[in-house]
């Protein structure tokens, strides 16, 4: 079992990476002077992973929403649920499923070792029966219906459904009422045994802890897993969007919008330099200090809800601008015109430097948050990136690199505008 120290001389920070004998990759980021500790136990398995094969075997297709369903079910056991156990240690526990990962987490100020034992225990102890699966179908079915009525949720998924033709990122993370009705204990065990293999998982702990403390618990709780090759299978995705515009009516005050720019996804997740250039570019384009933001605000077309996101994962890549507006179509038109003008005129050097410093500052300030540290290291492990390499990439990014990124990142011919307007 090798313990690797990952150090940043420029930041005077360090953390540790361990490939445990069980197969699990473990990260420990001690923070001197911190009273709290945050732990996250994640698997590289999300809602998009609905078709796969293991060790070049037969292709398996499972119902949509099963990763989210499995997240719910893992908290249960024959003896009760994990939340009841956490209540005794005082830890604050939660979990989430995204497009490409499922994570279980807790934060605490006391009883860290006991809480970590609970985390490693229940995630490794699946318990599925026909009765408990049927019960959960009703609960998650209600959750799905609630999200179907949520304007903020619908505006995003309407956009994704019209941006992507084949990639399962277009499918709601929780699935549909119909798809979850197909879930059985057998499906759950198939997905669990495939993706909850420790070789496909990461444990990251940040805060008031040490490598020795975490490894002592890991040695006690982890069950050795044999490595298996997992191949996620996706249909080929065309370069263009399925539809440039989609509208739905729901009870809202101001109309909501998501404007998505689709980009051809590489076979591997983007590297640290590409991510750094993308984040700097988006800050320059659409932060509250940008000329575009000021123009939209001055024309009373957006409010403080306006935001942007670099959106990427296995097989999907894009940029999303979102917010509230009395005239979403006009906002989309101005954003696209601004991008085209910027491609022709080039990026102002002073504006680039401001955006670069701000992006670097955000990355550095994130090191003061234990939950941010643990979540970003987990995500970076799953995407073959490293935290300090990313921060250094921001510091060393040039204006020329960001201008080059602008040419490939935001294609105004590959956009989808999703709008939610009031029912009246």
Distance of CA 216 to the CA centre of its chain: 30
Relative to beta strand 316-324, strand 307-313 is antiparallel
User: Distance between CA 322 and CA 170 in Å, rounded?
Assistant: 17
Q: Which long-range contacts (CB under 8 A, 24 or more apart) does 12-15 make?
A: 13/367, 13/388, 15/206, 15/373, 15/377, 15/387
Active site (annotated) includes residue 247 = no
Is residue 413 classed exposed, middle or buried when 0-12, 13-18 and 19+ CB atoms within 10 A define those classes?
exposed
How many Cα atoms are found within 13 Å in the side-chain-facing hemisphere of 158? 26
* Residue 419 and residue 326 in contact, taking contact as beta carbons nearer than 8 Å: no
Q: How far lies 296's CA from each of 19, 287, 290, 303, in Å? A: 49, 12, 10, 9
φ, ψ (nearest 5 deg) of residue 106:
-155, 160
User: Contact at 8 Å (CB) between 126 and 77?
Assistant: no
Q: What is the DSSP letter of 176?
A: -
Which of 58, 71, 309, 324 is catalytic? The answer is: 71
Nearest Cα neighbor of 228 from 60, 32, 404 is 60
Q: Catalytic amino acids?
A: 71
């Amino acid at each position: 079992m090798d313990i690797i120290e990952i150090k940043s001389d420029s930041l005077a920070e360090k953390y540790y990476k361990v490939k445990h004998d069980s197969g699990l990759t473990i990260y420990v980021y001690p923070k001197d002077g911190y009273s709290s500790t945050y732990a996250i136990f994640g698997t590289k398995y999300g809602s998009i992973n609905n078709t796969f094969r293991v060790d070049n075997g037969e292709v398996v297709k499972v119902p949509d929403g099963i990763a989210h369903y499995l997240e719910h079910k893992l908290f249960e056991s024959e003896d009760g649920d994990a939340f009841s156990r956490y209540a005794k240690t005082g830890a604050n526990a939660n979990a989430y499923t995204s497009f490409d990962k499922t994570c279980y987490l807790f934060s605490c100020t006391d009883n860290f070792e006991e809480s970590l034992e609970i985390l490693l225990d229940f995630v490794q102890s699946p318990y599925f029966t026909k009765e408990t699966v049927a019960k959960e179908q009703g609960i998650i079915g209600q959750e799905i219906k609630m999200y179907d009525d949520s304007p903020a949720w619908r505006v995003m998924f309407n956009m994704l459904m019209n941006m992507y033709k084949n990639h399962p990122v277009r499918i709601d993370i929780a699935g549909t009422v119909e798809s979850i009705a197909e879930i059985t204990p057998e499906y759950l065990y198939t997905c669990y045994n495939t993706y909850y293999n420790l070789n496909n998982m990461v444990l990251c702990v940040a805060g008031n802890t040490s490598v020795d403390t975490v490894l002592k618990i890991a040695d006690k709780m982890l069950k050795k897993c044999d490595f298996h090759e997992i191949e996620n299978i996706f249909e080929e995705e065309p370069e263009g969007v399925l539809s440039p515009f989609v509208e739905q009516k729901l009870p809202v005050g101001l109309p909501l919008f998501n404007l998505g720019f689709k980009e051809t996804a590489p076979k591997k997740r983007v590297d640290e330099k590409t991510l750094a250039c993308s984040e700097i570019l988006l800050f320059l384009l659409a932060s509250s200090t940008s000329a575009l933001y000021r123009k939209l605000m001055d024309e009373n077309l957006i409010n403080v809800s306006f935001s942007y996101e670099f959106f990427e994962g296995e097989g999907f890549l894009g940029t999303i601008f979102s917010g509230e507006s009395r005239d979403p179509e006009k906002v989309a038109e101005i954003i696209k015109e601004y991008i085209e003008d910027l491609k022709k005129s080039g990026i102002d050097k002073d504006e680039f430097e401001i955006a670069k410093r701000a992006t670097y500052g955000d990355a550095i300030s994130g090191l003061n948050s234990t939950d941010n540290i643990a979540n970003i290291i987990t995500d970076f492990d799953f995407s073959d990136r490293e935290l300090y390499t990313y921060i250094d990439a921001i510091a060393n990014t040039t204006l020329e690199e960001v201008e080059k990124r602008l040419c490939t990142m935001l294609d105004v011919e590959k956009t989808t505008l999703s709008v939610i307007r009031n029912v009246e």
